[in-house]
Structure 1
């Protein structure tokens, strides 16, 4: 696994856009209009910025997969992070949908613990290379990194077919949130 550099931002955004184009959770939050593609781009740009600043962005060795990791316990509010939030509202969510987005985030926060953690925000594989083991290798490396740090990993997924994949690596479902889709909350506890 390669730690992404800022110069890798466009590559990471493109990988995520391709991987999450039809994702229920992403499409729930993104305003669905003729600018949908640009709105997904803005969401992934925001996610990259937040993880690059308050976490880590990883690429597979062949650069066909990426993982965005956030350390919520290290996240700080700054002028820059507020600016990123404002851009997200205007470029991705839409001003008239901010209430819906804030309600969803509040519901998610209630289900997430406040302990230090590795938050696996996104893991995506170029669709041309899915089901070839690239994502599995990247996830294994994320697990090893979390083990080294002694931190649990948390994530949410709305993609039902991915649940067995995560469970194969030791993740367990600890909660669910029903919106217009079901959002599954998963946790991986590293061995002590």
Structure 2
């Protein structure tokens, strides 16, 4: 697993945009219009910047998969983060979706622990490279990283077929939320 840098940003954004193009949770947040794919791309751009600042961004050794990790206890309000949040609202979520997006985030965050944890925000593999073990290797290394940092891993997925895969790695569903689709909140450690 490689630690990504700013130079890897375009690659990471492409992998995540392609991986999450049809994802229910992502499409619930982004404004659904003719710019939908651009809005997903901007969401991934935003997420990359936030994780590079308040977490870590990883690439698989072959650079066909990536993971965005956030340390919520380190995230703080800065002028830079405020500007990023405003851009996210305008370029991805849309003003008409803002209330729905904020309500969803509040519901999710209310189910997080009060102690420091390892938040696996996104894990993606280029669609044409999926089912070749890239995600498995990346998740295994992420688990090792979280153990070394003594932090439990939390994540959410709206993709039902991912649940058995995560379970294989010791994750369990500790909460289900409904937003017109099911969002499964998982934990390991």
Runs of 4+ residues deviating >3 angstroms: none
Q: What residue in structure 1 maps to residue 66 of structure 2?
A: 66
| Correspondence for 1:10 | 10
C-alpha deviation, 1:99, in angstroms: 0.6
1:96-135 matches, within 5 Å, as: 96-135=96-135
- TM-score of the aligned structures, taking structure 2 as reference length: 0.99
**Match status 1:158 vs 2:158:** yes
Provide the C-alpha distance between the structure 1 equivalents of 2:167 and 2:97, rounded to a whole number of angstroms: 33
TM-score, normalising length from structure 1? 0.98
The CA distance in 1 between the partners of 2:120 and 2:82, in whole Å, is: 22
Deviations 1:101-154 (A, max 9, x none): 111111111111121000000000001110000000000000000010111000
Q: Report the counterpart of residue 85 of structure 1 in structure 2.
A: 85
- Classify the secondary structure of the residue corresponding to 2:121: strand
Tell me the distance in 2 between the aligned counterparts of 1:119 and 1:27.
Answer: 20
C-alpha separation between the residues in 1 aligned to 2:80 and 2:113? 26
Tell me the secondary structure at the aligned position of residue 72 of structure 1.
coil
Where structure 2 has 5 or more consecutive residues not aligned to the other structure, the ranges are none
Q: Which residue of 2 aligns with 1:47?
A: 47
